[in-house]
Every structure is written in structure tokens, then in C-alpha cells.
Amino acid sequence: MAINIDRIRLLSLKFRNAIESCDRLALPIAFADFPRGSCGDSALLLGAFLKDEGAGKFDYICGERGDHRDNTWTSHAWCQNGKLIVDITADQFADFSEPVFVGNPSPWHLGFEVDKPQSSDFREWDSHTVSNLGRCYRAIRKNL
């Protein structure tokens, strides 16, 4: 099945808007200053949503860049299917302005040293993640 990039972009925008519309008290603390600090949970929730909407199965990609010694170290997470990146939280960084990025790896994303890909569907993770993000997912879906 071919990936429909336009549909994935629309779904991703819709999902980010739904997160932004949520009562912050209905979401885990990681979403208190969305998108800052919420990339990991957001990627796991978005991956589940894209899968539920028939847009395909995505990997959870987590990477890091910079150095702890000079205070430039940071980490970031996003969804990826092959070379297609879907990232709804990169705008938390000063050097990336798009609130929703859907496309082939940008030079910005390529600047991260990434870990081994994992499932981007939170329901395939440990029981704590399933429980915590399950409540969050239901709250977000109410705003879709």
C-alpha cells in the first residue's frame, strides 16, 4: 500500500490541533508546556492514531544531538515510516519552525544520532505506558 503523504499531513495537523484543544489537566504532565517536553509521548500517541486511521505503521525514532559539556545536548522523538518523517513537536526547538513536519528527512532531523527504532504505537509498550497514554489518547480523540 502506497503512503498518501497529503493524507498523513492532514491527519497529523488534525491530531496536533486536538492536543492543543485539550484541557491540560486531562493530559499527562509532559503536555503541560506542549510541544516543549512532550515529543516522546506525542510520537507514541500520533503513531497509534495514524495506525487507527489506516495511514500505515510507523516507527518511534528517538535521537540526541549536542554535548552535555557545553550545554547543547538535547533529545527529540518523532514517527517515521521508511524515509518519511512525521513530527508534530519539532517547533519546540528554536532552530525548527514548522509545527507539523511531514516529509523526507530534513537536515535538521539528520542531525540527531538515533536509537534503534521501536513501535510508535503506545499500545505495544509496557503496561504503565499503555495505561498512562491510553487515558491521554481518549482525551485527545474527543477533540478530533
Q: How much is the average pLDDT of 114-139?
A: 96
**Confidence (pLDDT) at 26:** 87
Give the 3-state secondary structure of residue 78.
strand
- Here the cell at position 30 is 509532559
The residue count of the chain comes to 144
- What is the reported pTM? 0.95
Q: How confident is the model at residue 1 (pLDDT cuts 50, 70, 90)?
A: low
Q: Give the pLDDT confidence of 21-38 residue by residue, as tens digits.
A: 999 888 999 999 999 999
**Confidence (pLDDT) at 5:** 95
Neighbours of 29 (CB within 10 A): 10
Contact 73, 67 (CB under 8 A): yes
Count of the separate structural domains present in the chain? 1
Per DSSP, the residues of 116-139 read --EES-GGGS-HHHHHHHHHHHHH
Q: Which domain holds residue 43?
A: 5-141
Q: What angle do CA 70, 72, 77 make, to 5 degrees?
A: 150
